[in-house]
């Protein structure tokens, strides 16, 4: 029985590592591609205009939101690092307690997403040149990066305007103005966090056993 339990724990730990590795590889590859082939603010429609790659950077939170100032950036990055440590410990406890594999994988998605944006915050300012509206960024520029350690900007690029139209003219105040639904620009790391969180909330009764 102990051998079976040990094998199960190793298998679940492997799922954790695989989930984190895949998310980080996809997230960092896409960020590198965007950073080195798009100028800041550049957009390209993809897959029959189904969605848009729109290069933007933010010094703050997910989905293009910001936490003001340089110190806000340092505080947010520090919080992400601490939160990631707590999530990692939580995953270890889930494995020890025999939690469902689906639950472990979903929490691993959240951890992977946090780590993906931490990498941007910690290292991108050191290893990339500044992205501008006219020039592409380069990796490991001769004159050094655009910011110090901890102050890198998070790269966002995924834009899904599910509704992009105009308000009818007869509507007071808004009439004639542009109407867009789901305007935030995000990245794969943000998506991993959102999928993990919302799936756990939606299926919490199945994923988290109720104590007898």
- Among 27, 164, 169, 190, the active-site one is 190
At residue 195, what are phi and psi to the nearest 5 degrees?
A: -60, -45
Q: Enter the tokens of residue 26.
A: 């996809």
- Establish if 212 belongs to a structural domain: no
Instruction: Indicate if 27 belongs to the active site.
Output: no
Q: Enter the tokens of residue 38.
A: 């798009």
Q: How many domains does the chain have?
A: 1
Higher model confidence: residue 1 or residue 107? 107
- pLDDT at site 150: 87
Q: Give the mean model confidence (pLDDT) for residues 65-70.
A: 55
Q: Give the mean model confidence (pLDDT) for residues 172-177.
A: 68
End-to-end, the C-alpha distance of the chain in Å comes to: 24
Q: What is the pLDDT of residues 111-157, one digit of tens each?
A: 999 999 999 999 999 999 999 999 999 999 998 999 988 889 999 99
* Dist. CA 100–CA 54, nearest whole Å: 37
Residue 195 belongs to what domain range?
A: 2-207
* Dist. CA 57–CA 162, nearest whole Å: 22
Q: What is the pLDDT of residues 69-107, one digit of tens each?
A: 566 677 778 888 999 999 999 999 999 999 999 999 999
Higher model confidence: residue 67 or residue 54? 54
* Dist. CA 115–CA 121, nearest whole Å: 10
Q: Enter the tokens of residue 155.
A: 């790269």
* Dist. CA 171–CA 142, nearest whole Å: 55
């Amino acid at each position: 029985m102990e051998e079976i339990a040990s094998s199960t724990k190793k298998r679940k730990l492997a799922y954790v590592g695989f989930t984190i590795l895949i998310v980080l590889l996809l997230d960092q590859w896409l960020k590198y591609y965007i950073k080195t082939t798009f100028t800041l603010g550049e957009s390209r429609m993809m897959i029959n205009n189904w969605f848009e790659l729109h290069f933007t950077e933010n010094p703050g939170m997910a989905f293009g939101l910001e936490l003001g100032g340089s110190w806000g950036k340092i505080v947010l990055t520090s919080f992400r690092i601490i939160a990631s440590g707590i999530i990692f410990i939580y995953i270890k406890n889930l494995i020890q307690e025999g939690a469902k594999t689906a639950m472990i994988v979903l929490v691993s998605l959240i951890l992977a997403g946090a780590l993906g944006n931490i990498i941007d915050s910690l290292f991108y300012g050191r290893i990339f040149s500044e992205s501008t509206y006219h020039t592409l960024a380069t990796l490991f520029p001769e004159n050094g990066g655009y910011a110090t350690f901890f102050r890198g900007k998070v790269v966002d690029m995924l834009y899904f305007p599910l509704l992009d139209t105009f308000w009818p003219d007869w509507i007071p105040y808004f009439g004639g103005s542009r109407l867009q639904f789901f305007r935030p620009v995000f990245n794969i790391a943000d998506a991993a966090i959102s999928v993990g969180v919302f799936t756990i909330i939606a299926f919490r009764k199945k994923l988290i056993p109720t104590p007898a």
